[in-house]
Amino acid sequence: MKITKEIIIAMGHSVTGHKSRCRGLHGHDYRIIATVDDKVITTKGASDEGMVIDFGDLKQVMMDVIDRYYDHGFTLYKDDPRAKLLSEANDLWCFEKERFHLVDFIPTAENLAKFWFTALKAELAKKNIKLYSLEVYETPTSSAIYTEGD
């Protein structure tokens, strides 16, 4: 049985070297949808009987793994020519350091979907729940879906 939960975060990024204006510093309201695929719990009298996972529990994991660090943050490729300057500026102006990320990849919707999938999968595994896919909407009409093995 597959179930989904959605969260929305606001995050800035840049698509380093891209041919369009996406190469500039800008942001999006990312819509992130996690799909888990597991058995429905049949333990009589259990709080989560009849569920794969409580939607609130799934949301909490998503908030802890993604929202907590990335909402109202900025993510930039570590080899972006602006990375050093922006990192130093961030340190000077005391922006929340846990919300400024230099990553090993260009933060496209595709790469973010894979990155967040990996992090979310590890946390859900602790609850014996299998993450099936993670969909990242960068705009209301454009998304990337990552599933295991993509």
pTM of the predicted structure, to 2 decimals: 0.90
pLDDT computed for residue 19 by the predictor: 77
Per-residue tens of pLDDT for the chain, all 150 residues:
999 999 999 999 888 877 777 667 888 999 999 999 999 988 998 888 888 999 999 999 999 999 999 999 999 999 988 888 788 777 766 666 677 888 999 999 999 999 999 999 999 999 999 999 999 999 999 999 999 887
**Which CATH number is 98's domain given?**
3.30.479.10
**Range(s) of the domain holding residue 15:** 2-147
* Number of domains composing the chain: 1
pLDDT computed for residue 122 by the predictor: 97
pLDDT computed for residue 95 by the predictor: 61
Name residues whose C-beta falls within 8 Å of residue 72's C-beta, 6 or more positions apart in sequence.
9, 10, 11, 99
pLDDT computed for residue 92 by the predictor: 67
pLDDT computed for residue 90 by the predictor: 73
| Cβ-contact 75, 109 below 8 angstroms | no
pLDDT computed for residue 63 by the predictor: 98
